A and B are shown apart, each in its own frame.
Chain A
Amino acid sequence: AQKVTQAQTEISVVEKEDVTLDCVYETRDTTYYLFWYKQPPSGELVFLIRRNSFDEQNEISGRYSWNFQKSTSSFNFTITASQVVDSAVYFCALRINTGGFKTIFGAGTRLFVKA
């Protein structure tokens, strides 16, 4: 079965704290893609990062970093020195080929960053 689990429903931090959003996925496919999207209070969905199953290199983009570990089927997302503007719902997603590529989203983690 293909599945994405974001166990943290809500996280609340104070500005400047670091925060890690967990994502665990399940698939039997050897080729797959992982994504993170951000949905701010305004409602739009914004693409943040993509990883393919053959590339386990971690990535850093400004205050954002991602840790992909195939051994634990995890693709965690860390925000360092969080800011109020980081408040949003963050979705982890898995794309697999099931006779047509399908993207399966996790339930999302709502992050509140307080000033």
Chain B
Amino acid sequence: DTAVSQTPKYLVTQMGNDKSIKCEQNLGHDTMYWYKQDSKKFLKIMFSYNNKELIINETVPNRFSPKSPDKAHLNLHINSLELGDSAVYFCASSQGQGVQPQHFGDGTRLSIL
């Protein structure tokens, strides 16, 4: 029943490692997003995909590579993890890019040791 699901919920890893976060939505939406929420709760858009095409890339380091194999999935791969990557990462989806609200996943808390 979960509309937007992310896995894993928690990710603890060491600096320098490569990790992936998966996101799937079963709402039939055509647009998906990744957001980063830092320790001060500030939410910032990272990427947006519409029908599997990259629409927004917000000056995110190229260590972050999103991949959208189909409209229902938007995965996030992160290479060479750094301490500053520690945050909660939220996946979201919406129907279209304009008026419809975004539905968020529960977040993935990434902690870099």
Contact = CB atoms under 8 A, between A and B. Distances in A.
Interface residues of A, number: 24
B48 interface: yes
Interface string A27-58: 00000010101010001111100101000000
Nearest to A98: B56
Interface residues of B, number: 26
A43 B43 contact: no
A32 B48 CA distance: 18
A100 B44 contact: no
A110 B42 CA distance: 12
Interface stretch (B22-30, B63-71, B75-83, B101-109): B101-109
B40 A107 contact: yes
Contacts, number: 57
A43 B90 CA distance: 10
A97 B98 contact: yes
Nearest to A97: B98
A95 B56 contact: no
Dominant SS at the A interface? strand
Given A45-B104, A97-B98, A107 B41 contact: yes
A103 interface: yes
Contacts of A46: 104
Contacts of A100: 48, 50, 55-56, 97
Contacts of B90: 45
B99 A91 contact: no
Contacts of A52: 99
Contacts of B15: none
5 closest residue pairs by CB, A with B: A101-B97, A100-B55, A45-B104, A105-B43, A47-B101
Interface of A: 33, 35, 37, 39, 43-47, 50, 52, 89, 91, 95, 97, 100-105, 107-108, 110
Given A100-B55, A100-B97, A110-B41, 20 more contacts: A33-B99, A37-B104, A39-B41, A47-B101, A47-B102, A47-B103, A50-B101, A95-B98, A97-B98, A100-B48, A101-B48, A101-B98, A102-B45, A102-B48, A102-B56, A105-B42, A105-B43, A107-B41, A107-B42, A108-B41
